[in-house]
Amino acid sequence: MLIARIIGDVVATHKAPSHHGRKILVVQPLDLDGSDRGGAVLALDSVDAGIGDRVLLVTEGFSAMTAVGRPDSPIDMAVIGVIDAVHLDD
């Protein structure tokens, strides 16, 4: 899993039937200090996240498919939680 921030969404007039009823989000992975970690990616939303939310992102196909309730569908990444706070010990 990764920590990420929602930076946009995708409007698709045609998409795979397994994606109907799910938002496609543009997600920026983050390092623990909040800085960007690599480039932005696309993920299906399973928790009704919105732009600006910090979220948990799964980046493995089977976990992503299971999280959005769409087994055997072409999904690589999914947003599975909205983060309220992160606490780190030194």
Alpha helices in the chain (DSSP H): 61-67
Domains defined along the chain, listed by start = 2-12+20-82 (2.40.50.220)
The string of pLDDT tens digits covering residues 7-61 is: 999 998 888 887 778 899 999 999 998 999 999 999 999 899 999 999 999 988 7
- Cβ(32)–Cβ(2) below 8 Å: no
The string of pLDDT tens digits covering residues 11-23 is: 988 888 877 788 9
| CA gap 28, 35 in Å, rounded | 10
- Per the structure block, which two tokens stand in for 59? 């980046």
Indicate yes or no: pTM above 0.75.
yes
